[in-house]
Structure 1
Amino acid sequence: MASVADLISSGADLEVRDSAGRTPLLLAAANDHVDVAKQLIAAGADPNAVDDQRDTPWLVTGVTGSVEMVEVLAAAGADLSLTNRYGGVSVIPASERGHLDYVRWVLANTEIDVNHVNNLGWTALLEAVILGDGSDTYLEVVRALLAGGADPALADGDGVTPLQHASSRGYEEIAAALKAAGQ
Protein backbone atom coordinates (compact mmCIF):
# COMPACT_ATOMS: atom_id res chain seq x y z
CA MET A 1 0.00 0.00 0.00
CA ALA A 2 1.38 3.41 -0.98
CA SER A 3 1.95 5.98 1.74
CA VAL A 4 0.45 9.45 1.62
CA ALA A 5 3.90 10.86 0.91
CA ASP A 6 4.33 8.42 -2.00
CA LEU A 7 0.95 9.38 -3.45
CA ILE A 8 1.70 13.08 -3.15
CA SER A 9 5.14 12.71 -4.72
CA SER A 10 3.66 10.74 -7.60
CA GLY A 11 1.29 13.62 -8.38
CA ALA A 12 -1.96 12.39 -6.82
CA ASP A 13 -4.82 14.87 -7.12
CA LEU A 14 -5.08 16.55 -3.71
CA GLU A 15 -8.58 17.81 -4.48
CA VAL A 16 -10.09 14.56 -5.78
CA ARG A 17 -13.62 14.04 -4.45
CA ASP A 18 -15.43 10.95 -3.21
CA SER A 19 -19.14 10.34 -3.88
CA ALA A 20 -20.03 12.82 -1.11
CA GLY A 21 -17.71 15.51 -2.44
CA ARG A 22 -15.14 15.05 0.34
CA THR A 23 -11.48 15.72 -0.36
CA PRO A 24 -8.62 13.72 1.18
CA LEU A 25 -8.01 16.59 3.62
CA LEU A 26 -11.63 16.68 4.73
CA LEU A 27 -11.56 12.92 5.27
CA ALA A 28 -8.30 13.21 7.21
CA ALA A 29 -9.87 15.90 9.41
CA ALA A 30 -13.06 13.91 9.95
CA ASN A 31 -11.04 10.89 11.04
CA ASP A 32 -8.47 12.89 13.05
CA HIS A 33 -5.51 11.76 10.95
CA VAL A 34 -3.37 14.74 11.88
CA ASP A 35 -0.14 13.56 10.23
CA VAL A 36 -1.98 12.92 6.95
CA ALA A 37 -3.57 16.37 7.15
CA LYS A 38 -0.17 17.98 7.70
CA GLN A 39 1.25 16.23 4.64
CA LEU A 40 -1.72 17.19 2.47
CA ILE A 41 -1.58 20.82 3.58
CA ALA A 42 2.16 20.99 3.02
CA ALA A 43 1.55 19.71 -0.52
CA GLY A 44 -1.07 22.41 -1.15
CA ALA A 45 -4.43 20.86 -0.26
CA ASP A 46 -7.23 23.39 0.12
CA PRO A 47 -8.19 23.75 3.82
CA ASN A 48 -11.48 25.38 2.76
CA ALA A 49 -12.77 22.77 0.29
CA VAL A 50 -16.52 22.33 0.77
CA ASP A 51 -18.23 18.95 0.36
CA ASP A 52 -21.78 18.16 -0.75
CA GLN A 53 -23.13 18.73 2.78
CA ARG A 54 -21.34 22.09 3.11
CA ASP A 55 -18.70 20.71 5.47
CA THR A 56 -15.06 21.77 5.33
CA PRO A 57 -12.05 20.34 7.15
CA TRP A 58 -12.40 23.15 9.75
CA LEU A 59 -16.13 22.65 10.22
CA VAL A 60 -15.80 18.91 10.87
CA THR A 61 -13.38 19.61 13.71
CA GLY A 62 -16.32 21.14 15.57
CA VAL A 63 -17.92 17.71 15.39
CA THR A 64 -14.79 15.70 16.23
CA GLY A 65 -13.48 18.13 18.85
CA SER A 66 -9.88 17.57 17.79
CA VAL A 67 -7.76 20.41 19.12
CA GLU A 68 -4.64 19.07 17.40
CA MET A 69 -6.40 19.05 14.03
CA VAL A 70 -7.89 22.50 14.50
CA GLU A 71 -4.42 23.86 15.28
CA VAL A 72 -3.14 22.43 11.99
CA LEU A 73 -6.06 23.84 10.01
CA ALA A 74 -5.90 27.27 11.67
CA ALA A 75 -2.21 27.51 10.77
CA ALA A 76 -3.14 26.58 7.18
CA GLY A 77 -5.52 29.51 6.88
CA ALA A 78 -8.89 27.82 7.32
CA ASP A 79 -11.78 30.23 6.79
CA LEU A 80 -13.64 30.51 10.10
CA SER A 81 -16.58 32.30 8.53
CA LEU A 82 -17.69 29.33 6.41
CA THR A 83 -20.87 27.73 7.69
CA ASN A 84 -22.20 24.18 7.64
CA ARG A 85 -25.53 22.99 6.24
CA TYR A 86 -27.24 24.31 9.36
CA GLY A 87 -25.67 27.72 8.90
CA GLY A 88 -23.40 27.21 11.89
CA VAL A 89 -19.73 27.87 12.58
CA SER A 90 -17.54 25.17 14.13
CA VAL A 91 -17.94 26.28 17.74
CA ILE A 92 -21.69 25.54 17.60
CA PRO A 93 -21.48 21.75 17.08
CA ALA A 94 -18.47 21.65 19.42
CA SER A 95 -20.58 23.24 22.15
CA GLU A 96 -23.49 20.90 21.42
CA ARG A 97 -21.19 17.89 21.82
CA GLY A 98 -19.42 19.16 24.94
CA HIS A 99 -15.96 19.46 23.35
CA LEU A 100 -14.68 21.72 26.12
CA ASP A 101 -10.99 21.82 25.15
CA TYR A 102 -11.93 22.59 21.56
CA VAL A 103 -14.29 25.41 22.58
CA ARG A 104 -11.63 26.90 24.84
CA TRP A 105 -8.95 26.68 22.14
CA VAL A 106 -11.10 28.22 19.41
CA LEU A 107 -12.24 31.08 21.64
CA ALA A 108 -8.69 31.80 22.82
CA ASN A 109 -6.95 31.51 19.46
CA THR A 110 -9.34 32.70 16.77
CA GLU A 111 -11.71 35.53 15.97
CA ILE A 112 -14.69 33.19 15.51
CA ASP A 113 -18.06 34.82 16.14
CA VAL A 114 -19.15 33.25 19.41
CA ASN A 115 -22.60 34.83 18.97
CA HIS A 116 -23.16 33.52 15.44
CA VAL A 117 -26.77 32.43 14.98
CA ASN A 118 -27.39 29.35 12.84
CA ASN A 119 -30.41 28.56 10.65
CA LEU A 120 -32.21 27.07 13.65
CA GLY A 121 -31.93 30.41 15.45
CA TRP A 122 -29.39 29.02 17.93
CA THR A 123 -25.98 30.17 19.10
CA ALA A 124 -23.25 27.98 20.56
CA LEU A 125 -24.52 28.93 24.03
CA LEU A 126 -28.06 27.89 23.19
CA GLU A 127 -26.86 24.59 21.71
CA ALA A 128 -24.80 23.81 24.82
CA VAL A 129 -27.89 24.34 26.97
CA ILE A 130 -30.59 22.88 24.71
CA LEU A 131 -28.69 19.86 23.36
CA GLY A 132 -26.33 19.32 26.28
CA ASP A 133 -27.12 17.16 29.28
CA GLY A 134 -26.55 19.71 32.04
CA SER A 135 -23.45 17.87 33.29
CA ASP A 136 -20.28 19.48 34.64
CA THR A 137 -18.76 19.34 31.15
CA TYR A 138 -21.63 21.40 29.71
CA LEU A 139 -21.45 23.78 32.66
CA GLU A 140 -17.79 24.38 31.79
CA VAL A 141 -18.64 24.80 28.09
CA VAL A 142 -21.23 27.43 29.08
CA ARG A 143 -18.68 29.18 31.31
CA ALA A 144 -16.07 29.13 28.53
CA LEU A 145 -18.56 30.57 26.04
CA LEU A 146 -19.58 33.31 28.46
CA ALA A 147 -15.92 34.13 29.18
CA GLY A 148 -15.35 34.21 25.42
CA GLY A 149 -18.03 36.85 24.92
CA ALA A 150 -21.21 34.83 24.39
CA ASP A 151 -24.26 37.01 24.98
CA PRO A 152 -26.48 35.26 27.56
CA ALA A 153 -29.45 37.40 26.50
CA LEU A 154 -29.51 36.15 22.88
CA ALA A 155 -32.74 34.19 22.66
CA ASP A 156 -33.67 31.47 20.19
CA GLY A 157 -36.05 32.05 17.29
CA ASP A 158 -39.00 31.66 19.68
CA GLY A 159 -37.67 34.27 22.10
CA VAL A 160 -36.55 31.74 24.73
CA THR A 161 -33.26 32.66 26.42
CA PRO A 162 -30.49 30.27 27.44
CA LEU A 163 -31.49 30.89 31.08
CA GLN A 164 -35.09 29.94 30.40
CA HIS A 165 -33.97 26.78 28.61
CA ALA A 166 -31.59 25.86 31.45
CA SER A 167 -34.25 26.49 34.09
CA SER A 168 -36.90 24.46 32.27
CA ARG A 169 -34.46 21.52 32.03
CA GLY A 170 -33.49 21.70 35.70
CA TYR A 171 -29.89 22.66 34.94
CA GLU A 172 -29.51 24.70 38.13
CA GLU A 173 -25.74 25.27 37.96
CA ILE A 174 -25.92 26.35 34.33
CA ALA A 175 -28.81 28.66 35.18
CA ALA A 176 -26.75 30.15 38.01
CA ALA A 177 -23.81 30.73 35.65
CA LEU A 178 -26.11 32.46 33.17
CA LYS A 179 -27.60 34.64 35.93
CA ALA A 180 -24.10 35.56 37.11
CA ALA A 181 -23.28 36.61 33.55
CA GLY A 182 -26.13 39.09 33.57
CA GLN A 183 -29.04 37.13 32.18
Structure 2
Amino acid sequence: TAGDGIYSAQFQANEPGHYNFLFGVQGTTENSGRFSRQQLKTVHVRSVPDPAETEIQSSIDGQTLSITMVPRTTFGHQMGPGWANYFWFTTPDGQAFKPTDDNGTYTASLTFTGDAPPPVTLHFLRVSFAIEDSVTPDQLPVPLDDSSTVIETVPGTEPPATPAGYPLWLIILLIVVILLVIGLIIYVIRRP
Protein backbone atom coordinates (compact mmCIF):
# COMPACT_ATOMS: atom_id res chain seq x y z
CA THR A 1 0.00 0.00 0.00
CA ALA A 2 1.50 3.32 -1.01
CA GLY A 3 2.48 5.60 1.86
CA ASP A 4 2.36 2.92 4.58
CA GLY A 5 6.14 2.96 5.12
CA ILE A 6 6.56 -0.70 4.13
CA TYR A 7 8.73 -1.42 1.10
CA SER A 8 9.11 -4.80 -0.58
CA ALA A 9 10.80 -6.31 -3.61
CA GLN A 10 11.32 -9.73 -5.13
CA PHE A 11 14.56 -11.18 -6.41
CA GLN A 12 14.64 -14.31 -8.57
CA ALA A 13 17.58 -16.46 -7.42
CA ASN A 14 18.32 -18.97 -10.20
CA GLU A 15 21.37 -20.54 -8.57
CA PRO A 16 22.08 -21.68 -5.03
CA GLY A 17 24.57 -19.72 -2.99
CA HIS A 18 24.92 -16.58 -0.90
CA TYR A 19 23.26 -13.35 -2.02
CA ASN A 20 24.08 -9.96 -0.51
CA PHE A 21 21.45 -7.23 -0.38
CA LEU A 22 22.29 -3.63 0.53
CA PHE A 23 19.34 -1.65 1.83
CA GLY A 24 19.58 2.13 1.93
CA VAL A 25 17.22 4.79 3.23
CA GLN A 26 17.56 8.57 3.07
CA GLY A 27 15.23 11.20 4.32
CA THR A 28 14.67 14.34 6.29
CA THR A 29 12.94 14.83 9.62
CA GLU A 30 11.75 18.03 11.19
CA ASN A 31 13.72 17.56 14.41
CA SER A 32 16.92 15.85 13.20
CA GLY A 33 17.32 17.08 9.65
CA ARG A 34 18.76 14.84 6.93
CA PHE A 35 19.54 11.18 7.66
CA SER A 36 20.92 8.19 5.79
CA ARG A 37 20.98 4.54 6.87
CA GLN A 38 22.36 1.40 5.21
CA GLN A 39 22.13 -2.25 6.15
CA LEU A 40 23.73 -5.28 4.47
CA LYS A 41 21.81 -8.57 4.63
CA THR A 42 23.13 -11.89 3.35
CA VAL A 43 20.74 -14.68 2.42
CA HIS A 44 21.68 -18.25 1.56
CA VAL A 45 19.64 -19.92 -1.19
CA ARG A 46 19.80 -23.66 -0.83
CA SER A 47 19.64 -26.30 -3.56
CA VAL A 48 16.40 -28.26 -3.72
CA PRO A 49 15.91 -31.15 -6.16
CA ASP A 50 13.27 -30.86 -8.85
CA PRO A 51 11.63 -34.16 -9.90
CA ALA A 52 11.31 -33.07 -13.54
CA GLU A 53 15.01 -32.17 -13.82
CA THR A 54 16.52 -34.95 -11.68
CA GLU A 55 18.02 -37.81 -13.69
CA ILE A 56 17.19 -41.15 -12.10
CA GLN A 57 17.39 -44.70 -13.37
CA SER A 58 17.36 -48.18 -11.93
CA SER A 59 18.55 -51.62 -12.93
CA ILE A 60 18.07 -55.11 -11.56
CA ASP A 61 20.77 -57.76 -11.23
CA GLY A 62 19.38 -60.92 -9.69
CA GLN A 63 17.72 -59.87 -6.43
CA THR A 64 19.47 -56.49 -6.21
CA LEU A 65 17.94 -53.21 -7.31
CA SER A 66 20.49 -50.50 -8.15
CA ILE A 67 19.43 -46.85 -8.36
CA THR A 68 21.58 -44.08 -9.85
CA MET A 69 20.57 -40.43 -9.77
CA VAL A 70 21.91 -36.98 -10.54
CA PRO A 71 19.74 -34.50 -8.63
CA ARG A 72 19.12 -31.17 -10.34
CA THR A 73 17.34 -27.96 -9.36
CA THR A 74 14.38 -26.34 -11.12
CA PHE A 75 16.82 -24.44 -13.33
CA GLY A 76 18.65 -27.65 -14.33
CA HIS A 77 21.72 -27.03 -12.17
CA GLN A 78 23.33 -30.16 -10.74
CA MET A 79 23.12 -30.12 -6.94
CA GLY A 80 26.58 -31.62 -6.66
CA PRO A 81 28.22 -33.63 -3.90
CA GLY A 82 27.48 -33.51 -0.19
CA TRP A 83 23.76 -34.30 -0.12
CA ALA A 84 23.80 -38.08 0.50
CA ASN A 85 22.44 -37.77 4.06
CA TYR A 86 19.52 -35.66 2.84
CA PHE A 87 18.33 -38.13 0.18
CA TRP A 88 16.52 -41.26 1.35
CA PHE A 89 14.63 -44.03 -0.41
CA THR A 90 11.69 -45.90 1.12
CA THR A 91 9.64 -48.97 0.28
CA PRO A 92 5.96 -49.59 1.16
CA ASP A 93 6.98 -51.94 4.00
CA GLY A 94 8.82 -49.09 5.74
CA GLN A 95 12.37 -49.97 4.75
CA ALA A 96 14.51 -46.83 4.40
CA PHE A 97 17.95 -46.57 2.84
CA LYS A 98 20.18 -43.75 1.65
CA PRO A 99 22.53 -43.42 -1.31
CA THR A 100 26.27 -43.00 -1.41
CA ASP A 101 27.78 -39.92 -2.99
CA ASP A 102 30.11 -40.26 -5.98
CA ASN A 103 30.93 -36.60 -6.58
CA GLY A 104 27.33 -35.53 -7.23
CA THR A 105 26.06 -38.78 -8.73
CA TYR A 106 24.28 -40.80 -6.07
CA THR A 107 23.87 -44.57 -6.02
CA ALA A 108 21.84 -46.85 -3.79
CA SER A 109 21.05 -50.55 -3.77
CA LEU A 110 18.33 -52.70 -2.27
CA THR A 111 18.25 -56.47 -1.95
CA PHE A 112 14.71 -57.77 -2.43
CA THR A 113 12.82 -61.07 -2.48
CA GLY A 114 10.28 -62.14 -5.07
CA ASP A 115 10.12 -61.61 -8.81
CA ALA A 116 10.33 -57.82 -8.80
CA PRO A 117 11.54 -55.07 -6.49
CA PRO A 118 9.01 -53.18 -4.40
CA PRO A 119 8.00 -49.67 -5.43
CA VAL A 120 10.65 -47.22 -4.18
CA THR A 121 10.03 -43.56 -3.27
CA LEU A 122 12.72 -40.85 -3.29
CA HIS A 123 12.72 -38.33 -0.42
CA PHE A 124 14.71 -35.15 0.24
CA LEU A 125 15.01 -33.67 3.71
CA ARG A 126 14.67 -29.87 3.61
CA VAL A 127 16.44 -29.05 6.84
CA SER A 128 19.04 -26.33 7.28
CA PHE A 129 21.45 -28.21 9.53
CA ALA A 130 23.92 -31.05 9.09
CA ILE A 131 22.74 -34.64 9.12
CA GLU A 132 25.61 -36.87 10.19
CA ASP A 133 26.57 -40.05 8.32
CA SER A 134 25.70 -42.16 11.37
CA VAL A 135 22.05 -41.02 11.49
CA THR A 136 19.62 -43.92 11.06
CA PRO A 137 16.10 -43.58 9.61
CA ASP A 138 14.52 -43.50 13.08
CA GLN A 139 16.81 -40.60 14.10
CA LEU A 140 15.99 -38.32 11.16
CA PRO A 141 14.84 -34.80 12.07
CA VAL A 142 11.74 -35.04 9.86
CA PRO A 143 9.66 -38.06 8.81
CA LEU A 144 10.04 -39.78 5.47
CA ASP A 145 6.49 -39.13 4.33
CA ASP A 146 4.58 -37.28 1.60
CA SER A 147 5.98 -33.94 2.78
CA SER A 148 9.53 -35.01 1.85
CA THR A 149 8.70 -36.94 -1.34
CA VAL A 150 10.53 -35.88 -4.50
CA ILE A 151 9.68 -38.83 -6.77
CA GLU A 152 6.70 -40.99 -5.78
CA THR A 153 7.90 -44.10 -7.63
CA VAL A 154 11.45 -44.48 -8.90
CA PRO A 155 11.39 -45.58 -12.58
CA GLY A 156 11.76 -49.34 -12.87
CA THR A 157 10.10 -50.02 -9.50
CA GLU A 158 6.50 -49.49 -10.56
CA PRO A 159 4.09 -52.17 -9.33
CA PRO A 160 3.01 -54.62 -12.03
CA ALA A 161 0.07 -53.30 -14.01
CA THR A 162 -3.17 -55.22 -14.03
CA PRO A 163 -5.20 -55.58 -17.25
CA ALA A 164 -7.25 -52.45 -18.01
CA GLY A 165 -6.37 -51.02 -14.62
CA TYR A 166 -8.72 -53.30 -12.66
CA PRO A 167 -7.75 -54.19 -9.09
CA LEU A 168 -5.95 -57.51 -8.75
CA TRP A 169 -8.57 -58.92 -6.33
CA LEU A 170 -11.29 -58.34 -8.94
CA ILE A 171 -9.31 -60.14 -11.64
CA ILE A 172 -8.68 -63.11 -9.32
CA LEU A 173 -12.37 -63.24 -8.39
CA LEU A 174 -13.34 -63.20 -12.07
CA ILE A 175 -10.92 -66.05 -12.84
CA VAL A 176 -12.32 -68.13 -9.95
CA VAL A 177 -15.91 -67.55 -11.15
CA ILE A 178 -14.97 -68.52 -14.72
CA LEU A 179 -13.26 -71.71 -13.49
CA LEU A 180 -16.32 -72.61 -11.39
CA VAL A 181 -18.63 -72.09 -14.40
CA ILE A 182 -16.36 -74.22 -16.62
CA GLY A 183 -16.26 -76.92 -13.94
CA LEU A 184 -20.06 -76.87 -13.63
CA ILE A 185 -20.48 -77.14 -17.42
CA ILE A 186 -18.08 -80.10 -17.58
CA TYR A 187 -19.91 -81.76 -14.67
CA VAL A 188 -23.32 -81.32 -16.36
CA ILE A 189 -22.04 -82.60 -19.74
CA ARG A 190 -20.45 -85.75 -18.24
CA ARG A 191 -23.46 -86.63 -16.13
CA PRO A 192 -25.32 -89.63 -17.49
TM-score of the alignment, normalized to the shorter chain, above 0.5: no
TM-score (norm 1): 0.24
Question: Which structure would you say has the larger Rg?
Answer: 2
**Counting helix residues as a fraction of each chain, which structure ranks higher?**
1
**Counting strand residues as a fraction of each chain, which structure ranks higher?**
2
